[in-house]
């Protein structure tokens, strides 16, 4: 079986986006220069590669990077401070809080904060 090692995103400003992931989400930037960066996000790393034109970066809603966070409000505040923008309201389904943030490079970041009461209840039922 093949295993996903990394995801590569194409963008115009690698240093700004690496900083966005480091300062906004607390991810470790393994290496970075003006044209390439590698960001540790757990099991799968994100590779950031510089391109010369917006057409090459195919800015939009794909791919969508999904992150689980402990504090969605704090994560959103940090991401906005570092150039992100909230895309719609925070939603509150029964399983937790969800939100979408557009990174400065244009890629979409999904945030999920699990409902701690639901997790506690599920662990008691096991």
Structural domain containing residue 105 = 6-53+60-125
Q: Number of folded domains in the chain?
A: 1
- Would you place residue 110 in the very low, low, confident or very high pLDDT band (cuts 50, 70, 90)? confident
Residue 1 lies in a domain: no
For the chain, what is the HEC assignment? Answer: CCCCCEEEEEECCHHHHHHHHHHHHCCEEEEECCCEEEEECCCCEEEEEECCCHHHHCCCCCCEEEEECCCHHHHHHHHHHCCCEECCCCECCCCEEEEEEECCCCCEEEEEEECHHHHHHHHHHC
For residue 57, the model assigns a pLDDT of 60
Residue 120 lies in a domain: yes
- Would you place residue 95 in the very low, low, confident or very high pLDDT band (cuts 50, 70, 90)? confident
pLDDT in tens, 50-81: 887 665 566 555 577 888 899 999 999 999 99
Q: What is the CATH number of the domain that holds 46?
A: 3.10.180.10
pLDDT in tens, 6-43: 898 888 899 999 999 999 999 999 999 999 999 999 88
């Amino acid at each position: 079986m093949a295993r996903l090692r990394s995801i590569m995103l194409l963008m115009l400003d690698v240093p700004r986006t690496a900083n966005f992931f480091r300062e906004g989400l607390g991810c470790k930037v393994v290496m970075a220069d003006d044209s390439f960066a590698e960001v540790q996000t757990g099991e799968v790393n994100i590779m950031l590669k510089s391109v010369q034109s917006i057409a090459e970066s195919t800015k939009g809603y794909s791919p969508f990077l999904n992150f689980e966070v402990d504090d969605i409000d704090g994560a959103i505040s940090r991401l906005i401070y570092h150039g992100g923008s909230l895309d719609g309201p925070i939603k509150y389904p029964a399983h937790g809080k969800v939100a979408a943030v557009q990174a400065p490079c244009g890629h979409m970041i999904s945030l999920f904060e699990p409902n701690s009461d639901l997790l506690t209840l599920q662990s008691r039922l096991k």
